[in-house]
Amino acid sequence: MPTDRTLTATDAAIPFAFEPVLSADDVDRLRAAFTTRTMAASTRRALLGDGRLFVSWCGQTKRQAMPASRETVDAFLAAAAADGRSTATLRRYRSSLAWWHAAGGFANPCAGSAVAVPVPAPTLTDAAMAALLAFMDVAQRGYAPATLRATEADARRFAAWCGQQRLSWLPADPETVRRYIREIGKARKPTTVARYLASIALLHRAAGHENPCRHWRVDLERRGHARLPHGQRRQAAALTDAVLAPILDRLDQEQPDRSKPLKPIDLRDRALLLVGRDTLARADELVALRWDDLHPVDLALTPDAQPGEATIRIRRSKTDQEGHGAEAWLSAETVAALTAWRAVAPRWPAEPGDEEPHTREGAFLFCHLSRSGAGERMSPAAVRRVVERRTGEADPLAVGFSGHSLRVGAAQDLLAAGVDLPGLMQAGRWSSPVMPARYTERLRATRGAVARVRRGKDGRKPL
C-alpha cells in the first residue's frame, strides 16, 4: 500500500505525482529521471504536456494512469484519434507514456499497442457541399478567423465520431448529437461542449438542414452534462514581472557571461515578451502588430512621459471585430528591445513602388525564424512556443505557461499596483469584467474585506 506523503511544489510538477497507488519513492524516481537526464527543452515540454494530458484523461474516465494498462493506453489513443489528433501526434503520445513508465520502473504499457489511425470524415453530397462552400464564402467576412477555425475543427471531430459509429453527421439526428455529448463529454468541460453544439448548429443552418441541437433531448443532455463535476477550472499560468525577470536576465545582452551579441532569435523573443507585457495583447493581436503603427511619445504633450516611450496601435482584437483599433503604451525598455531586434530582423526584396531600391522591412513586428529561412509573420501558436521555451529554460519544471500567460500576468501586476477593475478593463481592452476578475480572483481575495478586517485586529491571533 502506498504511504501518506506531503507533496511539494516540485512533486506537483510531475504529472503522475498525485496517483494514489504511487509511493514517495516512485515519485522520487520520476522526479529524478525528469530533472537529471539530459534532453532537449522541446522534449522536456512534450513529456510534461503529454503526461499531464494522459493523467487528466484518466481522471475524467476513472482509469489508473501509473502504472497504466495496455487497454487504458489503447483507449486513450483511440479517444485522441477521434478528437482529430494526427498519426505523428499519437506516436509521440505513445513514446511519452513509455518514457514515463520506464522512468518510474514500471513495465511499458505501450508495447505492442498500435497507434490508432484517425477516421477520415465522411463525404458530403454535392448539394450539401455547395451550400457549405457558399456559406464559407460569406462567413469569411462575417466571422473572426478563430471562430471559423474552431468550427472547422469541431466539424471534423464530429464527423470522425459519426464515421466510427456509422451515423450520418450532416444532417445529424438529435439522438446522434445526444449520444455524442454523452460519450465525448466525459473528457470535456461544459464550455467546450457548448462550443461543439454551436458549431454543429451552425453547419446545419449553413447546409440548409434543421438544427438538431434545438431538440429537447439534446438540451437535457447538455444540462445534465453541465451538472456533472468537471474538476478545477484551468487557467494559463501567470507570467508576472517576478516570473519574467529571470527570463529577461537570460536574454540580457549585458550579462557578464555573454561575450557575444545576442542571436536574432533571442532579440526577437526578448522584444516579444516585453511588448506582450506592456500591451496585454492576446497572441493573435501580438503577431498582427505593425512597424507602421509604432510612434514615439511626444514629450511636449505628455510631461510625465520619459524619453524613449512609444505607443502602438492594435488594429483589431477579439472585442473589436469591426477594426476601430486601440492605442497601447510601450515603455522605453520595450522600445529599446524593439530597436535592437529591428536592426537584425530579416529584410525582404523590394516591391514595386517601395522607396528602398533593394530591400524592405517586414510589415509586422515579429517574423518567424528557422533554419529553413524567415517568414514575414509569426503565428499565434509560435507565441505559445516562445513562452513555453523561455520559461522552460529559466525553470525546467515550469508548467502551465502559454501564449495567454503574458496577458494574465500583466493583469495581476496591474491589480497588485493598485489599478481598479475599470482601469484593468481599459488596459486589456476587455468589454466585460468577467475575464479580468477571473484572472485576478486569487489576488483580490487577499485584498478583500475579510482580509483587511482580520489584519486590522492589532496583530491578535485567533484562539
Structural domains in the chain, CATH included, are: 9-103 (1.10.150), 126-226 (1.10.150.130), 241-347+361-445 (1.10.443.10)
CA dihedral over 26, 29, 32, 34, signed as positive or negative: negative
pLDDT higher than 70, residue 257: no
- What is the pLDDT confidence band of residue 6, given thresholds at 50, 70 and 90? very low
Per-residue burial over 77-94, b = 16 or more CB atoms within 10 Å of its CB, e = otherwise: bbbbbbbbbeeebbebbb
pLDDT score of 25: 85
**How confident is the model over 136-193, as pLDDT tens digits?**
677 766 777 777 778 878 888 888 888 878 888 888 999 999 999 988 877 788 888 9
How far apart, in whole angstroms, are the C-alpha atoms of residue 163 and residue 159? 6
pLDDT score of 234: 66
pLDDT higher than 50, residue 355: yes
- Element housing 92 (H / E): helix 87-103
* Residues 140, 146, 152, 156, Cα dihedral to 10°: 170
How far apart, in whole angstroms, are the C-alpha atoms of residue 421 and residue 260? 44
Hey, is 146 helix, strand or coil? helix
How far apart, in whole angstroms, are the C-alpha atoms of residue 93 and residue 97? 6
Strand residue runs (E) in 356-456: 359-361, 368-370, 373-375
Question: Cβ distance 1 to 21 under 8 Å?
Answer: no
**Residues near 82 by Cβ (< 8 Å), separated by ≥ 6?**
118, 119, 157, 160, 161, 164, 184
Question: Cβ distance 117 to 77 under 8 Å?
Answer: no
For the beta sheet containing 326-330, the strands, ordered from the edge strand earlier in sequence to the opposite edge, are: 294-296, 310-314, 326-330
The letter for the amino acid at 65 is A
Which residue, among 335, 318, 317, has the nearest Cα to 326 in the 3D structure? 317
pTM of the predicted structure, to 2 decimals: 0.63
Percent of the chain with pLDDT over 90: 17
Judged by average pLDDT, the poorest of 44-53, 303-312, 315-324, 416-425 is: 315-324
Residue 370 has φ and ψ, to the nearest 5°, of -160, 170
pLDDT higher than 60, residue 354: no
Question: Cβ distance 240 to 409 under 8 Å?
Answer: yes
pLDDT score of 60: 75
Strand residue runs (E) in 270-351: 294-296, 310-314, 326-330, 347-349
